[in-house]
Amino acid sequence: MEGYLALSLANVIANEGLHASGVDLGSLFGEESENYLPEFDPDVIGPQIGLPEGDPTREIGSRIFSVT
């Protein structure tokens, strides 16, 4: 599961790019443009990449993929 998480987050960042104020995930998923803070928030990004609420890999992802 960690490999899937790593690839998914890397794909989001590579495809969307980092903006000065964060990562624009909304437009990546066909929704309104929405900038998130550059720090990985598992409760925001987790559902976007298919991780269910309470999944322990969300915490792993928040430690590995903190983009500051």
Q: What is the pLDDT of residues 21-42, one digit of tens each?
A: 455 666 666 666 555 545 556 6
For 43-53, letters b (16+ CB in 10 Å) and e give eebbebbebee
User: How confident is residue 68, by pLDDT bands cut at 50, 70 and 90?
Assistant: very low
Nearest to 45 by CA among 28, 20, 19: 28
Is the pLDDT score of 66 beyond 50?
no
pLDDT at position 13: 62
Judge if pTM exceeds 0.75. no
- What is the C-alpha separation between 59 and 31, in angstroms, rounded? 25
- What is the C-alpha separation between 20 and 30, in angstroms, rounded? 21
Is the pLDDT score of 14 beyond 50?
yes
